Amino acid sequence: MTELDVASLVEGDRVHSRVYTDPAIFAREQERLFRRVWLYLCHESQIPAPGDFVQARLAGVPVLAVRQQDRGIKALINRCAHRGAQVCQHESGRALRFRCPYHGWTYAADGRLVGLPLRAGYAPGFALEEHGLKSVPRIAAYRGFVFASLAAEGPGLMEYLGPMSSAIDDMVDRAPAGEVEAAGGVHRHAFAGNWKLQMENLQDYAHPAFAHESSNVAARPDAHAHAELDEEDIMAANKASDLAWMEQAGVTAYPGGHSYIGALPLEQPMPAEAERAYLAALKARHGEARASEILAVQRHVAIVYPTLAFQSAMQQLKVIVPVRVDYTEVYVYCFRLKGAPPEYHRAAVTFVNAANAPASLILSDDLEIYARGQRTMTEAPGWLRFGCGLGRDVADNRGGIKGPGYSELAMRNQFATWSRYLAGPMPRAA
């Protein structure tokens, strides 16, 4: 796969289906894209104490995020230096030592080799300090969200995020105590399709009226009084997203493939006492004017390209993990706003179950669309169009461009960035 071959697959507002179906292109993505950017690793609240760890997979590489004695975090490659076995099989936990199940090589929480069975069988000069677990070259955090990069050099995290650091601000600023914490476990699902299908769909407001028609119909025909958010509220929001509303909601794209779309027409019922307590706590922290600014931010999904999506107003984080060219795993985390009444976290859990759980009526529509599209593009390859909204883009005041909510601007932005990574030098963030 040459640079010229890759460049010829993206032409303005059209893209060839090979970008979704060719294993050679997927291998090049791993090398030129995923192994060069900043990828989400974990949230600090998942590993609060020394020895706490969680597993992650970065560009196909198994990684352990481990809290250190000095309160720092290391990202260790979960591969034994002896014969390449996976050292730790647990998804999360607490351990001051990691012992390989194959031959018993044992590592400290900082990756040092501290236990070597059959030591007498090795040469006298065998150096334990040269055989520890390898570390991911770079790790950085912003407001509790931890990222890692397999590239030793490149833009720093804040430069890479650029204006999209606001997706994190949008979530954390809503917490009266100034922090969020991962709470309630994780929803996992997978689909038989290419990872880009998910990333595109997260910025696509034209599809709900058609792809989600069944759940739209199932939503309550008439509103009725109820105190808290429920599943039908979320389905009804998809139903209400008409052309006029999409025009107003808009989509905004930034260099680096990042973008966000405006909020759904989703009302969030909340018991009056809980809402009063929340607003009082938020104003106590920020002042009335700043609290109003925070709550006025209206975004549905913000993506940090290439594999991360925030639904900050509902405290959701979606991590896309490309496994093969035609197979993708997705992990969805729910966060608690520290200092907020419990009703706010209950609303977040309701939302994650209704929209992002494996049994969700909404999600199941999307997964079926991805799988059908993957099969069709494999069996009948050809050009795809991303021209909706073309020519209606206008500049925003943060170095990005804006379009109407039904525009395919975000997809065009993703593929422009994708092309630069795969066919040219590594682009730098705005």
Is the pLDDT assigned to residue 221 strictly greater than 80?
no
Number of domains the chain is built from: 2
Q: In this structure, what is the dihedral angle of CA atoms 238, 356, 161, 388, given to the nearest 10 degrees?
A: -40
Does 186 lie in the same domain as 133? no
- Asked if the structure places residue 18 within a domain, the reply is no
Does 418 lie in the same domain as 360? yes
Does 331 lie in the same domain as 199? yes
* Residue range 87-126, pLDDT digits in tens: 999 999 999 999 999 999 999 999 999 999 999 899 999 9
Q: In this structure, what is the dihedral angle of CA atoms 52, 54, 58, 60, given to the nearest 10 degrees?
A: 130
Q: What percent of the chain has pLDDT over 90?
A: 76
Does 126 lie in the same domain as 50? yes
- Asked if the structure places residue 191 within a domain, the reply is yes
Does 327 lie in the same domain as 245? yes
Does 174 lie in the same domain as 117? no
Does 245 lie in the same domain as 391? yes
Does 383 lie in the same domain as 306? yes
Does 232 lie in the same domain as 335? yes
User: Is pTM, for the whole model, over 0.85?
Assistant: yes
d(CA 1, CA 362): 37
Q: What is the CATH number of the domain that holds 326?
A: 3.90.380.10
Domain that holds residue 174: 157-423
Question: Looking at residue 292, what is its pLDDT?
Answer: 96
Q: What percent of the chain has pLDDT over 70?
A: 91
Is the pLDDT assigned to residue 409 strictly greater than 50?
yes
* Residue range 11-61, pLDDT digits in tens: 989 999 999 999 999 999 999 999 999 999 999 999 999 999 999 999 999
Question: Looking at residue 213, what is its pLDDT?
Answer: 78
- Asked if the structure places residue 31 within a domain, the reply is no
Final residue of a domain: which of 113, 141, 169?
Answer: 141
Matching residue, tokens 């997927």 = 26
* Residue range 263-282, pLDDT digits in tens: 877 777 899 999 999 999 99
- Asked if the structure places residue 248 within a domain, the reply is yes
List the single range of 176-180, 189-193, 363-367 with lowest mean pLDDT. Answer: 363-367
- Asked if the structure places residue 118 within a domain, the reply is yes
Locate 166 and state its tokens: 């606001």
Final residue of a domain: which of 141, 173, 195?
Answer: 141
- Asked if the structure places residue 332 within a domain, the reply is yes
Where b means 16+ CB within 10 Å and e means fewer, 319-329 reads bbbbeebbbbe
* Residue range 182-219, pLDDT digits in tens: 997 899 999 999 999 999 999 998 888 788 877 767 66
